[in-house]
Amino acid sequence: MNEHGKSYDNDDVFLHRFNIFRENLKRIEQWNAESTGAVYGVTQFSDLTPQEFKSLYLMNVTRPPNATTYLTFPGVEAPTTFDWRTKGAVTNVKNQGQCGSCWAFSATSNIESVVKLGGQSMPILGPQQMVDCDKDCYGCQGGWPSKAFNYVAKAGGQDTESAYPYTGRDGSCKFKTQGIGAKIKGYHSISRDEKQMQAGLSTTAPFSICVDASQWSHYKSGVMRSNQCGRGIDHCVQLVGYDSTANPPYWMVRNSWGTGWGVSGYIYLEMFKDTCAMAEQVTTAYL
């Protein structure tokens, strides 16, 4: 409660949450006993049931869209390790709160990086615009970065965070052209081949990816192995780097649950195993 700023309305609520917390401690202990990769522990989600965590923080949407063409990177010899954070191309970890708006955060993070790598100053953009205004998606119920990119391209741009602050709930569209901080022309879908993803990531930009995060609630550190999560995509994040020399090799993934979760807001996923279905929905905006 102290670490994560939790408080409860009365003793009955406290006891209810405490009992859920105790069940989660048992689950965490079991997962750690079985794990050869990820390390689990108490997080801000440890007073929630798995069902509550899913309904409050993950997406509840239809099947992801299928791309018709994929961008590949023939002839690119990717370095063995790479991290866009060291190149100043990644903004700080954000927090989506109790809203399934990860898709908007994932798309926004990619656009910020693409604009910076296009030679402009790094913008801090407002994902709330996508939540409120993109009618092809479902706000706090979920959506897809590819549709968010299409929306931004058609709308004429994305407002800055200061012009369109985040509220963490569905609202009416308040997009203002004078608040635009970035413009894009569209997006590319990236090859599902992780070797191609490695080549593309190191030469293009930090990518938007979507994953199965149903087993992420108690992640603290370590490399999550492919057998530690499922394949039902329910969350979108940002792929920022990798280390293919590690054992096991891993991807560096930026989440949107604040810096108090995971490794200062990041999770590491095992490479070349399509861990958590991370290679299925990979996209990037272009200017």
Enumerate the active-site residues.
102, 235, 255
pLDDT tens track for 7-65:
999 999 999 999 999 999 999 999 999 988 999 999 999 999 999 999 999 998 767 77
User: pLDDT tens digits for 13-25?
Assistant: 999 999 999 999 9
Confidence (pLDDT) at 232: 92
CA 214 to chain centre: 13
Do 245 and 193 contact (CB within 8 A), yes or no? no
- Cβ distance 57 to 177 under 8 Å? no
Query: What are 85-116's pLDDT values in tens digits?
Result: 999 999 999 999 999 999 999 999 999 999 99
Mean model confidence pLDDT for the chain: 95
Mean pLDDT of 77-83: 96
The residue type at 51 = Q
Q: Tell me, what's the pLDDT at 64? A: 75
| Contact by Cβ (8 Å): 107, 130 | yes
User: Residue 62's pLDDT is what?
Assistant: 67
pLDDT at 83 over 90: yes
Query: Hey, what amino acid is at 186?
Result: G
Do residues 225 and 101 touch, judged by C-beta distance below 8 A?
no
CATH number given to 11-286: 3.90.70.10
Model pLDDT, residue 30: 95
Q: Give the strand pairing for 266-270 and 223-224.
A: parallel
Residue 18 main-chain phi, psi, to 5 deg? -65, -40
The confidence score (pLDDT) of residue 94 equals 97
Of 52-66, 184-198, 237-251, which range is least confident?
52-66
Q: What is the pLDDT of residue 120?
A: 94
Mean pLDDT of the 242-250 span: 97
What is the token pair recorded at 177? 């052209």
Name the percent of the chain lying above pLDDT 70: 100
> What residues pair up with 263 in beta bridges, in sequence order?
266
Identify the weakest region by mean pLDDT among 71-80, 111-120, 275-284.
71-80
Could you tell me what percent of the chain has a pLDDT over 90?
Answer: 93
CA distances for 112 relative to 10, 56, 255, angstroms: 43, 26, 15
Whole-number pLDDT of residue 238: 98
Q: Which helix (H) or strand (E) holds 235?
A: strand 235-243
Cα distance between residue 240 and residue 209, in whole Å: 10
- Looking at residue 65, its pLDDT comes to 77
Q: In the chain, where are the structural domains located?
A: 11-286
C-beta of residue 278 within 8 angstroms of C-beta of residue 64: no
Tell me the average pLDDT across 151-164. Answer: 97
- Average pLDDT rounded to a whole number, residues 245-263: 97
- The per-residue pLDDT for range 112-151, each reduced to its tens digit, is 999 999 999 999 999 999 999 999 999 999 999 999 999 9
Q: How far apart are CA 152 and CA 279, in angstroms?
A: 24
- Fill in the amino acid letter for 151: Y
